[in-house]
Structure formats: structure tokens, C-alpha cells
Chain A
């Protein structure tokens, strides 16, 4: 399997705005090992989604870049699947056709029936099999996001990039989908980069949390290994002193940085 890490190397992003140059990200460095589950955590507006968009190839870095297997990426690729905050299913296609569109792109050589089987299999895996003939507008937010997750996994990508994928869901649905994501990731391991501002989500899901400093000129502020045994359960974490220690570390970091941020703004 893959042995070389995904490298984000000296990444900077400058936006040209009417008010002048705005350096959102400056000298951001990170290495993500194969099949590692990493969260990118920070205050909203710190630029974590921009880092993800650059890794996805949707935006270009001003300086530095993203290296996969020794080659710098240029633009999006089917090796990197994306789940956005909003489900962003195409509303004029059924759930099945949305997934099928991704399967056809990622598995162009498979015969049509096999492509269909693959799409149906992933829809069943996320628990949306019974809704596959329905249009996105007929589905709940949670089910739409399930379909979006099925679309991403059906690509059978090497990297999974998640941009606050559960941000718009109620807490019950969010917990369900977090468990679903963990299950899928255990079944077919891949490198995951999850952008979130939910500390508990990051601790429950991830191997490592990269904490970003507040922008402008955001970079890596802290690289925290989540030393909690897997498989994890929500109940089990509540009895684990290590969980509370890590939680304390993250919250202290975030509080300190938001205080600094406010001081600078004042």
C-alpha cells in the first residue's frame, strides 16, 4: 500500500482584496501519514477551509504546495474525494444518479451494471439504500449528507477531505454520521483530513489534531496526538481521564488564542 505521507509544504495563501493584500495563511507545514485520520481545528475564519480547498485542488497556493508521492498536485483529482458542509448533491438527479456520476468518473472501465452495483453498495453502506430513487430535495439534511458520504467513498479515493461535514446537522444526526464515518473508515482505510471547529468531534474521530493559529498569517500552532485507544465509544471516553486531559489542552489553546486575537483586534 501507500507508504509516503501527504505533505503540505511551506504553504502560503494571499488574497488580493480591494483593501489590499491579505495573507490568510503563511508558511503552513504538515505531514499526514497514510490512513491517518487528522483534524484541522481552529477558530472560524482562521483559514482551515482554505488549506483544505488547496489540498483538494480547488484553490491554488500562492507559495509552497501540496505533495503526494513526491509530485506537487495541480488541480483536483479523483484520488481526493470531498465532502462539503452542505451536501451539494445535484438537485436534478436522484440519490443514485448522484453517486453513479462519481462512480462513472472514478471507475470508467467498469461495465455499466457493475458501476450501478458499486453505487448501490455504497448507498446501502451509508444506510441510504431505500432512498436511492428519490431526489435530494425529498431527503432530510442528514440523509442528503449520507448520500454525499456515499458519493465520496464510492470514488474509492486515497484521500478523504471533509469540510465541516456535520456542521449543519442536529446533534443526534451528527453523532450517527460520525459513527458511520468511523465505521466506513475502518472498513476501507484512507487518509482523512477533517476540517472542524468541534473539539469533541475531533477528539472522538481523529488520530491527530492540527491546531491552527488565528489568521491572518495562520499557521500550525500545535500538533496534538490523540492518544486514545480505538475503537472508541462516547460512553467510554467519558470515563477516560486522558480524554479530559486532551480536551483541556485543546480548550486552553483555543482560549489563549482567541484572547490574543481579541487583544490584537482591540
Chain B
């Protein structure tokens, strides 16, 4: 108990130190950067009534984050619905792997900023374009982890499946899926992280309500403190998401 208190107080000191550097930077080096105090003053309304809706692009910060989360959830689901089966195919068939692995390695490092215009051309609407971008950027860790999970199924288990003459479907449900589940979840966790990273880019360019869209709008309105508010919100939400997925993953491993 005591050591936990000590650890927490260390974290607090760290946060205070960062805020100190922030304050110093804003007062000495970068006068355009709002100080921590100014950021708080100008963001109070958004933080203290986080669910209030005053206008399309003027809403409480939690409400904005919720819009973004729903969008991320849709894109992420799309990503794993495509990514997991693709990973299974890639992991199980050497021919398929040889055919598509180079393409995947080329598509993987492409930035969301590059996909988005393509999405806009294809769908002519901002929402599907945003989902397209999120899915396309975030599915690769799921694809790659699933494939490597399938490839590392111990030969013993595959032999059991062969000796018992399990049908394709039974082999999948009794051996492949349970054996790759931990890998699959690691992929999901990494994919969700990327999906959240991409949301800002997607909303900035499409101008839809959400933390990313709000950030971009306030930049254009020269209210810089709100940019910092959005940045902090994105960071905290991303942290919480990762922790939740980590907990789910740990539960899965202990089963």
C-alpha cells in the first residue's frame, strides 16, 4: 500500500514537472503557446460540462470524444473483420503468403493522410471515407499477428487434428482458432491503437465533429488552448483504450 502511494506521488511529481516545463516554454520561448493556466481557464467550460451541446462544433469534450470513439469502433470492427480472415489465409497458405505478402508490406506504411483523399474520391462522403481510412491503416497488425499465430501452431496439435481426421471446420474451431487467439488479441490491441491515432487525421480533413475535427476547427479559429485540450484528451482516451485491451488480453492468456 505504502509503495503504491510512493509510486503515485512520483507520477504526480513527473506530471507537475512537465507542466512546469510547459509553463516555462510558453512564457519564455513560445509566446503563442498557451500556458497550463490559460489552457485550463479557456477549456473549463468544455471540461466541466463535458456532455453539453451548444452547436455542431461547440460541444463538451466527452461528447466530442464519444463521436470519435464511435467512429473508431466502426473503423476498427471493419479492420478486424477483414484483417483476421486475411491473416488466417496468409498464415495457412504459403502460396497465398507469397502472392500477397509483398503487397501488404508496401501498403502497411502508408499514412492515413494519403488514404483519405482516395477515400473521398471513392465514396464522395466524409464519413465512409473516414471509416475507409481508419480500417485500411489499422488492419495490418491484426493481419500480421494472426498470420504469425497460425504459422506458430505447434506441429503436435496439427498432427492430432490430422490423426483424428477433423473436418476443416472442426480443425478451425478446435485447433486453429484457440491456438491463435492470444496472437489475434495482440493484433487487435495494436490495431485499436492505430485506429485511434488515425481518427485525428481523418476528422481534421473531413471536418466532422469529434476531437480531431474540433482540434482543427479551433486551430482555424486561433483558439490555441483548445488544441492543447484536444491533444490531452486524445492522449488520455488512447491510454485508457490500451489499458482496457491489455486487461482483456491478460484475461485471455490466463484462461
Contacts and interface: CB of A to CB of B under 8 A. Distances in A.
A11 to B, nearest CB: 20
Contacts of A227: none
A88 B157 contact: yes
B131 to A, nearest CB: 34
B175 interface: yes
Contacts of A34: none
Given A92-B178, A101-B174, A86 B156 contact: yes
B1 interface: no
A90 interface: yes
Interface residues of B, number: 15
A168 B216 CA distance: 64
Nearest to B175: A90
A58 B174 contact: no
Interface stretch (A65-73, A77-85, A118-126, A254-262): A77-85
A202 interface: no
Interface in B129-166: 154, 156-157, 159-160, 162-166
Given A90-B178, A101-B174, A84 B165 contact: no
Contact of A84 (B159, B164, B174): B159
19 contacts: A56-B163, A58-B159, A58-B162, A76-B162, A76-B163, A78-B164, A82-B163, A84-B156, A84-B159, A88-B157, A90-B157, A90-B160, A92-B179, A101-B164, A101-B166, A102-B164, A105-B165, A105-B166, A106-B164
Interface of B: 154, 156-157, 159-160, 162-166, 174-175, 178-179, 255
Given A58-B162, A76-B165, A90-B175, 7 more contacts: A58-B159, A76-B163, A78-B164, A80-B163, A88-B159, A93-B174, A105-B164
